[in-house]
Structure 1
Amino acid sequence: MVKVIIRYRNGKLYLEKASTDIKNRFGLSEAGDVDPIIALYLAYSSNAKIIDSENKELDLDAIIRICEENNRALETFFVFLDLVKRGKKVRPGIQGNEIVIEDEKIRIYAIDESSRISVKDLYTLVDRSIKQGYRVIIALVDLYGDVTYYEVNKMDFQKIEKKSEII
């Protein structure tokens, strides 16, 4: 049974109709924007019908392309799906690969197993999140869509001073 109708218009997804439980669970409002990851999840779980301006229903491939156009990678969907299955109340974050577990103040960054992240970028993500009161988790998505979670913390090391002693 379809609980949600989402319209794709001018490169954006808009909520036309949704049940109260879906609106509450994902923070949706009538005529408001719908994040592509949420739209993909709802379509994947057969809870949503996504239609274009000509009332043609979009398939999952078309919704995946919409996600990619909006800088939402498929890895993010796999992590989102895994967390929802585990009963977490999640929402997409600001960045394309970011997911937030609302009740637990956790930010999760989804990356695929072949991605590289520099130490500087990782430090920036962790530092920004910790300053905002969030724990940071890196979700590594493998080739088969399986997700492994790694918590990342910031550490300060004491400076080691070299003693110059001549023996």
Structure 2
Amino acid sequence: PEIFAESRVGVKTTEFSTYLLDLVELAYLTYFKECEVVDVDGQNLKLGDLFSKYSRSRYDWIKFTTFLDLRNRGRVAQPGYSENMLIFEMKGQRYAVYVVEENSPLNTKELLSWIDSALLKNLEPVLALVDANGDVTYYTVRKYRLEDLV
């Protein structure tokens, strides 16, 4: 449990004095060999095994890639409120990161809804685009109405 607090991952529950971790947080600890993951059959799981056995979203791997990239840049990213979102804070500003895979269709209506939701939560929206090599590029996202630009 100390490793969770030191690594700033998971949410401590008061009811059972345990931590709840998102898959990307557990993968992060596994990646850096900070912990071993053992499944119910007693098998030690490596990073790939962890995703193949427990991933429930097509975004899990790219979300992990972005989580790792942000952590490597000194940002303490945490899972957000949707399956492809992360949250981090920098210089007093909180950011919501919408993680997408390069060359995947992007639903404009869904993206606009996400931007509105992030702004309502006082989060600065950022788009993280993960390419086939696992490189992450970040874009600041703004929403404008055409009449505001004229």
- TM above 0.5, yes or no, is yes
Structure 1 pair 36–87 and aligned structure 2 pair: CA distance change class (3 A): same
Matched residue SS, 2:118: helix
Match for residue 97 of structure 2?
A: 108
Structure 1 pair 72–113 and aligned structure 2 pair: CA distance change class (3 A): closer
1: CA distance, partners of 2:11 / 2:107: 35
Q: Tell whether 2:113 aligns with 1:124.
A: yes
* TM-score, length basis structure 1: 0.76
1:79-158 paired onto structure 2 within 5 Å:
79-103=66-90, 104-158=93-147
1:1-167 paired onto structure 2 within 5 Å:
17-19=1-3, 20-22=5-7, 25-29=8-12, 30-69=17-56, 72-103=59-90, 104-158=93-147
Query: Number of matched residues?
Result: 142
Matched residue SS, 1:40: helix
Runs of 5+ consecutive residues of structure 1 not aligned to the other structure: 1-16, 161-167
Q: Which amino acid aligns with 1:153?
A: R
Contact 1:36–1:70, Cα closer than 8 Å, also in 2:
no
Structure 1 pair 95–66 and aligned structure 2 pair: CA distance change class (3 A): farther
Return structure 1 stretches of 4+ with deviation > 4 angstroms.
Answer: none
Matched residue SS, 1:46: coil
> Highest Rg: 1 or 2?
1
Distance apart, 1:154 and its partner CA: 1.4
- The RMSD of aligned alpha carbons is 2.1
Runs of 5+ consecutive residues of structure 2 not aligned to the other structure: none
